[in-house]
Amino acid sequence: MRTEIATLGEFGLIKHLTEGIALNHSSGIYGIGDDAAVLQYPAGKQVLVTTDLLMEGVHFDLTYVPLKHLGYKAAVVNFSDIYAMNGTPRQITVSLALSKRFSVEDMEELYAGIRLACRAYNVDIVGGDTSSSLTGLAISITCIGEADKADVVYRHTAQPNDLICVSGDLGAAYMGLQLLEREKAVLRGNDNVQPDFAGKEYLLERQLKPEARRDIIDALRDAHVRPTSMIDISDGLSSELLHICTQSKTGCRVYEEHIPIDYQTAVMAEEFNMNLSTCALNGGEDYELLFTVALADKEKVEALDNIKLIGYITPPDQGCMLITRDDHHEFTLKAQGWNGMQQ
Amino acid sequence: MRTEIATLGEFGLIKHLTEGIALNHSSGIYGIGDDAAVLQYPAGKQVLVTTDLLMEGVHFDLTYVPLKHLGYKAAVVNFSDIYAMNGTPRQITVSLALSKRFSVEDMEELYAGIRLACRAYNVDIVGGDTSSSLTGLAISITCIGEADKADVVYRHTAQPNDLICVSGDLGAAYMGLQLLEREKAVLRGNDNVQPDFAGKEYLLERQLKPEARRDIIDALRDAHVRPTSMIDISDGLSSELLHICTQSKTGCRVYEEHIPIDYQTAVMAEEFNMNLSTCALNGGEDYELLFTVALADKEKVEALDNIKLIGYITPPDQGCMLITRDDHHEFTLKAQGWNGMQQ
């Protein structure tokens, strides 16, 4: 079934898509339907604002990404940015621009994913807009969150001797992307062959339906550990760690052997004949949290699940170094590709 | 001179474009350079959030819109939404997606326009991001503003007998667009002919460099007039008035003879053989304010410059009516094209 957007019109479409959306947070005073959303945060709360513009063909490929997953991911990556400030996401606005290729049903799927993510993370949709595009789909989501002033964690506040921590594992989303790209190439021109992803579900899920690490933020708070700096890993561990070090004016030492990597990621890298550490360092789209903690918090952090210590912060003159697993060589971390390990 | 974006990279480009941007408002705690901007509004202030996604070929045509003007307009239309809530714009975030066609110098021009608008309206840029697009330019701007709780004016709060007011004049931006489109068609294939826009400067300025009506918001405040409802006119008077009436559950009576139209707009409509009132009712992109005031405020509003009373709000069963100038016929207002006057 395909209903043309024109049958509803732009106002009709957004009304249809946002029907029944209610505000759950007390900080949301007025949502969709006016010139602006109206919010009111309690005194002492700081307001966090992050925004993301996703373009078809650059940030997503609809030949293998279902629209519902895309909506879910587009929302979650914004939540991840708010958690990376040690805050709580509260509201989003959603702007869509779509070509004639898309139907009302397509947009229902996309919105279903956005709504699912909002329910899962307890976030309200307070603004929505749709318009046309000449080619493809563009999705712009802005997320507003809150944090107590004393809780906000920046990138530029790491100190020498702080421990470098990372949540979950790295490189899986990147391997999931490689897997989907391979299947796309294999299946081109042959619609009847179903790809066999058995045993690789984790990689696909990491690519298609990432989650934001609210659980890590909660666990750190419960353990009374306040990170000294934090960032979410969207562009790869190397790139994000260099952001922290550059902005904090420090160096770092990271140990290859401590970088957390899932078994399926390792199997897939072997199959693709790719260097595993390169994937984990530069793969991107992990949406894990990279943060530093004071040395005094070492035992508290070690007691938490799903957090790995991978190194420590150094004075700036020591550079940003990776220590290899096998021969303990030192290489300078680079944001894209890591020369010492690239094949 | 043309510098490829690739020479700077995406991180380098945004750093280059946002260099030297400072925060002027006390509500801005941290701006560009982290996962999210950090704001803190005083207790009692409500936070207003509006967002706009502009796509090349749909919302702007770079064959006649200079990039600096585009940047200015992209920012101002967001400010207009905040003023339409009776608020004050404070911060914006800017996301750009651009194809390889664009150079570093192009983006400098665009940003120069955005910065100019921000200076003129005293707004801070607190977030910026650039990425790629397969074709064309996409601009997503989110604006955050503030208002005292008691000051926020919605669309859904008009009452029968309230007077309907509009600022400035209508239809000029639409005629400016027609003018530019005509010149584009005339000049196609002939780059040496310079279009003659003498005497039509106002129409071009309304299309290419619109302003948000901060002055009207200030004047109303100074006169102690609080609108009972308000919206900014981006899609045409008819469409916006129907938004107010639908959301307020009222009707309205608007008098054609009172709709404010500039002399140049009238001359141009004649030249193009277009119905003038249709242009004023449905043209769009005026970025004037449409608002209602209590009958008791009539004299105060009449004493203000640049505000015209064009009709009044009625009970819902009386419908949304336009009364013609010449024969005082009544027609039902429609959002797109007005059947009674279309030729």
Question: CB–CB of A166/A87 below 8 Å?
Answer: no
Query: How far is the alpha carbon of A55 from chain B, nearest alpha carbon, in Å?
Result: 6
Contact flag B142-A96 (C-beta cutoff 8 Å):
no
Distance between CA B225 and CA B219 in Å, rounded?
A: 9
Closest alpha carbon within chain A to B88: A36
Q: What is the pLDDT of residue A198?
A: 85
Amino acid at A273: N
Looking at the partner chain, which of B36, B127, B131 has a beta carbon nearest the beta carbon of A55?
B131
What is the least distance, in Å, from the CA of B325 to any CA of chain A?
30
Contacts of B102 in chain A (CB under 8 A): none
Rounded to 10 degrees, the C-alpha dihedral B324/B330/B333/B338 comes to -60
Q: Which long-range contacts (CB under 8 A, 24 or more apart) does A23-31 make?
A: A23/A124, A23/A126, A24/A122, A24/A124, A25/A90, A25/A91, A25/A122, A25/A124, A27/A90, A27/A91, A27/A146, A28/A90, A28/A91, A28/A124, A28/A126, A29/B46, A29/B152, A30/A126, A30/B152, A30/B154, A31/A124, A31/A125, A31/A126, A31/A127
pLDDT at B196: 77
Spatial CB neighbours of A150, under 8 Å, sequence gap ≥ 6 = none
Above 90 in pLDDT, residue B83?
yes
Residues of B within 8 A of A127 (CB-CB) are 49-51
Pairing of strands A124-132, A88-98: parallel
Are A34 and B126 a contacting pair at CB < 8 A?
A: no
pLDDT over 70 (residue B277): yes
pLDDT for res A9: 87
Q: Which chain A residue shows the shortest CA-CA distance from B125?
A: A49
pLDDT at B124: 96
pLDDT at A125: 96
Q: Looking at the predicted structure, is the pLDDT value of residue B191 above 80?
A: no
Q: Is the pLDDT of residue B337 over 60?
A: no
Average pLDDT over residues A294-299: 98
**Is the pLDDT at A216 greater than 60, yes or no?**
yes
The domain defined by B5-149 carries CATH number 3.30.1330.10: yes
Q: Which residues of B touch A63 (CB under 8 A)?
A: none
Name the minimum distance, in Å, from the CA of B230 to any CA of chain A.
9
Q: Give span(s): CATH 3.90.650.10, chain A.
A: 163-332
Q: What is the pLDDT of residues A138-173, one digit of tens each?
A: 999 999 999 999 999 999 999 999 999 999 999 999
Q: What is the pLDDT of residues A246-272, one digit of tens each?
A: 999 999 999 999 999 999 999 999 999
What pLDDT does residue B339 have? 34
CB contact under 8 A, A142 and B51: yes
CA angle A155, A161, A166 (to 5 degrees): 55
- As a whole number of angstroms, the distance between CA A287 and CA A9 comes to 36
Would the pLDDT of A192 be above 50?
A: yes
Residue B186, pLDDT above cutoff 90: no
Is the model's pLDDT at A191 over the cut of 80? no
Of B34, B41, B51, the CB nearest to A93: B51
pLDDT at A340 over 50: no
Residues of chain A with CATH 3.30.1330.10: 5-149
Q: Return the closest-CA partner of residue B115 out of B105, B107, B125, B101.
A: B125
What's the average model confidence in pLDDT over B73-93? 97
Query: Tokens representing A250?
Result: 């420090």
pLDDT mean over B131-149: 96
Q: What average pLDDT does the structure give for chain B?
A: 93
Strands (DSSP E) contained in chain B are 28-30, 37-39, 45-55, 88-98, 124-132, 137-148, 163-167, 229-233, 251-255, 288-293, 307-314, 320-323, 330-332
pLDDT (tens digit, 9 = 90+) per residue, A88-119?
999 999 999 999 999 999 999 999 999 999 99
**Prediction ipTM score:** 0.93
- Local confidence band at A244 (pLDDT 50, 70, 90 cut-offs): very high
* Domain B163-332 classification at class level: alpha beta
Q: Which of A57, A131, A247 sits opposite B134 (nearest CB)?
A: A57
Considering CB atoms only, which of A41, A134, A247 is closest to B58? A134
Mean pLDDT along residues B101-114: 96
- Do A35 and B132 lie within an 8 Å CB cutoff? no
Percent of chain B residues topping a pLDDT of 90? 86
Please name the member of B11, B42, B46 whose beta carbon is closest to the beta carbon of A39.
Answer: B46
Average pLDDT value for residue range B53-81: 96
Q: How far is B210 from chain A (nearest CA, A)?
A: 17
Q: Average pLDDT for residues A33-59, to the nearest whole number?
A: 94
- Please check the confidence at residue A342 and state whether its pLDDT lies above 60: no
pLDDT of residue A341 exceeding 70, the answer is no
Question: Which whole number is the average pLDDT over B314-328?
Answer: 95
> Nearest to residue B230, comparing CAs of B149, B288, B168?
B288
Two tokens, residue B155: 């669309």
Quick check: B37 and A52 CB within 8 A? no
A18-22, A153-157, B180-184: which is most confident: A153-157
